[in-house]
Structure 1
Amino acid sequence: MRSLHILFILVVVTWLGFPLRAQEAISIGTRHTLFSHVLNEAREYWVYVPATRPGEKEESYPVLYLLDGDSFFHSVVGFTRLFSTSKVSSLPPCIVVAVLNTNRTRDFTPTCSAARRDGTVRPGDKPEGGGAGQFCRFLTEELRPAVEQDLPVNGQHLLAGHSYAGLFTLHVLLNYPGTFDTYIAIDPSL
């Protein structure tokens, strides 16, 4: 027991003896907030822009609008950086605009329903969802112009979503064709 106390004291003294150094944050993007008149709320989004190397002229890039951005921003930015710089990949560098959620059911579902997961509806249940059209308007009429105003975009727009956001992506593809150039629906909730 005595040797355990001595070991503990040695570890603490050794740990306290190391000088503390200031740590620099690693930043892969920037945070932005836009008040949406269509949705009547402030919406946060995160942006990653590929770095221009010294001596290179600034390029314009396609824009990937990533739904559920708060969940997938870091991994998608990592994939785009990896595959756009790989010698064996043909993926071009792109700007990633990660749209954060406030109400997934409202924003990503095209229809309104009071049904529960088992299909039952109980008295007093309020319908939810049905805001996909409004959310599409937010993306195209408010967010896209803000992004295009501030960033070096080339006019190519991609939309990516998973689950409910994948459902929304398919909804936009089928009901608002031409709104985006590329659609990526991952495991959509159908």
Structure 2
Amino acid sequence: SLRQDHEVVGVRAGLEEETLGGGGSSQFYDLNVYLNELLCIARLLDQPFQQHFRLLSSSLSSPALVLPGPPKSLARCRAKAQVDYRGMRYPSSAHLLDVVRTTWVVQDEESLLEALELLLASQIPLSSPPSSPLRSSSSPTPSSPSGHTVVRVKNGFRRRGGYRDVKINVVFSSPSGFRVIG
């Protein structure tokens, strides 16, 4: 399954689990080093992410209400990694797929379908994996054009009644060469 450390995203742990040995070192590294690096990238990409999706939504025939979400907090990410992803492949924090977020609110089913079609039609292909910009002595260089690639769609309309939505995760590629799943 796609995670933040997948080769097409490139937010990789600097130390392998085997290198860290036992005694809780891998969990310490995961929750205190890897997670902080992931959230640093999320904060760097939040503005271009929000700008990209705000601009994209402006091409809808019926305007969508765009509600930028703040990057997920360190406390919330740590709790999810410790509880929801406990026992999963190292680093467990790489399972966090919505560290940058935005919401489009549309008026009706027709507008929803148009928004979904727009998101799918405007995708960019994912090229070779980016270098590890946080571990490099030089600044990252653009590895692909800025844009998004849809990697997961969760249809909340299968339930009857109550709150329903469609959650879409994308790999967002920034002009600076960083990528993150949001």
User: TM-score, normalising length from structure 2?
Assistant: 0.30
Higher relative contact order (CA 8 A, sep 6+): 2
Larger fraction in strand: 1
Q: Which has the larger radius of gyration?
A: 1
